[in-house]
Structure 1
């Protein structure tokens, strides 16, 4: 799963870079040449959707999602480990639920040929498919982290936490 997470992270990075290129092109075309594009904003939005959902599984693997630890920091190392597993189970269940219920929506849009109704008139399933795929990957990553948990030592307190 590590290589998959690295690949997804790389794809998300490329998509984010492409967003910057597309929006820079749009700004130059619109304000310097008075010739706005019909594609830059919509494709940038689509790339952002995919980047977020593909990158989320990689972020879960590296532990870089936002965490509220005000209560768990007060627990022992074993208590923190138990709560980490509980959180991963919760993430896996919710992500699996979203993936399971999101897939038929994307499939239905594909079968019916729905489009977004914009100037590019992209098929709706292109953006909708990111939800079941992204959440499915998050669920798989959460399960992989749970299964790898017994071989890992307990996490130390995170020095990067900001104390208020």
Structure 2
């Protein structure tokens, strides 16, 4: 398996860890509220964890074929035209996600250069939680680029649940 696939899966694990952290944070917040206390900026940390879980899961979800695809048009095409449509769609997605990743990177760089801080009780430099968006979107673009190349070369593009590789549709 390619190094990128291991990186994508690692990011998926980080996304799962982010979700578990949100659950622990919320349960802790509930318990502390019952005792008359609270966790400062818990809402901020939960929101950042949610954002991280979404963006970090994108590449792993793609290589496992778990993103929603509209295949109604694809099913009406011949196998050859369908394959070409898949290549064009993956190439377009690569370009779009590259643009998205660049835009998010510029946004985070601006937060860093202005030393923007969160407005909650705990002042956190915003570039820190925003970095997960940069990493996730950049790796999603890489995953689409890899998918495009694999489709062009006729290689398997998705990993099935049982770890066997399957051809892209």
TM-score bucket (shorter structure): 0.7 to 0.9
Matched positions, count: 155
Question: CA shift at 1:154, angstroms?
Answer: 4.9
- For structure 2, which runs of at least 5 residues remain unmatched after alignment? 157-165
CA RMSD of aligned residues (A): 1.8
Task: Tell me the alpha carbon deviations over residues 26-50 of structure 1, each in whole angstroms, 9 at most, x when there is no partner.
Answer: 12222x2232222322111111111
Task: Tell me the alpha carbon deviations over residues 102-121 of structure 1, each in whole angstroms, 9 at most, x when there is no partner.
Answer: 22221121122111212212
Match 1:76 to one of 75, 78, 81: 78
Match 2:10 to one of 7, 10, 14: 7
1:58-77 → structure 2 map (5 Å cutoff): 58-77=60-79
CA contact (8 A) 2:56 2:133 kept: no
Paired position in structure 2 for 1:134: 136
SS in 2 for 1:71: helix
Q: Tell me the distance in 2 between the aligned counterparts of 1:154 and 1:100.
A: 30
Segments of 4+ in structure 1 off by > 4 A? 153-156
Paired position in structure 2 for 1:96: 98
- For structure 1, which runs of at least 5 residues remain unmatched after alignment? 157-164
Q: Greater CA deviation, 147-156 or 38-47?
A: 147-156
Q: Tell me the distance in 1 between the aligned counterparts of 2:139 and 2:62.
A: 10
TM-score (norm 2): 0.82
Give the 3 Å change call, closer, same or farther, for CA 154–8 of structure 1 in structure 2: closer
Q: Tell me the distance in 2 between the aligned counterparts of 1:137 and 1:115.
A: 26
Residue 55 in 1 paired to residue 57 in 2? Answer: yes
Paired position in structure 1 for 2:160: none
Q: Tell me the distance in 2 between the aligned counterparts of 1:154 and 1:81.
A: 11
Q: Tell me the distance in 1 between the aligned counterparts of 2:150 and 2:168.
A: 13
Residue 105 in 1 paired to residue 99 in 2? Answer: no
